[in-house]
Structure 1
Amino acid sequence: MLVSMSAALLLGLLIWFLLRIRYLRRADVLLCGVFGFLVARTVAAPLVQALLVGVGSFLGQLRF
């Protein structure tokens, strides 16, 4: 668990840096996918899932 949390943090920082310099390519999509799988295996997974459900329900209630 500790290794996956460290890897998720490292990959998150790398993705943030690539977004900051506006340099994401197709290969970086794989990096983002690996980051998602690593976050899903950490303690943060329930928090991320609750956040996504909350945002989804908020967007679902919007009427245009």
Structure 2
Amino acid sequence: MILSISGVMLLGVVVFLFFRKDGLKGSHACTSALFGFYLASTGIAPSIKAGGESLASLLGGIKF
């Protein structure tokens, strides 16, 4: 649960920065959000979630 909340916050910050700095239009952001909601209800959603968790564990294991 913590990973998904922090992931949502990270993606929200990225979208906000694109909106403010790179000229992302509100319609593009809404379209992307709707695409994400519709994608989450498809059969590929568990694979995407597993890939995100795998990437997060890989990044979490990096020692500096």
TM-score, normalised relative to structure 2:
0.58
Q: Structure 1 residue 61 and structure 2 residue 52: aligned?
A: no
One-letter amino acid matched to 1:52: G
Q: Which structure 2 segments of 5+ residues have no match?
A: 1-22
**Percent of residue pairs bearing the same amino acid type:** 31
**1:1-42 Cα shifts (integer Å, max 9, x gaps):** xxxxxxxxxxxxxxxxxxxxxx84232111111111011000
SS at match of 2:42: coil
Q: CA RMSD, aligned part only?
A: 1.8
**1:42-62 Cα shifts (integer Å, max 9, x gaps):** 000100000000000001011
Q: Which structure 1 segments of 5+ residues have no match?
A: 1-22
* Aligned mates of 1:59, 1:46 — CA distance in 2: 20
* Greater than 4 Å deviation, 4+ residue runs: none
Tell me: higher relative CO, structure 1 or 2? Use CA pairs within 8 A at least 6 residues apart: 1
* Aligned mates of 1:29, 1:50 — CA distance in 2: 24
What is aligned with 1:28? 28
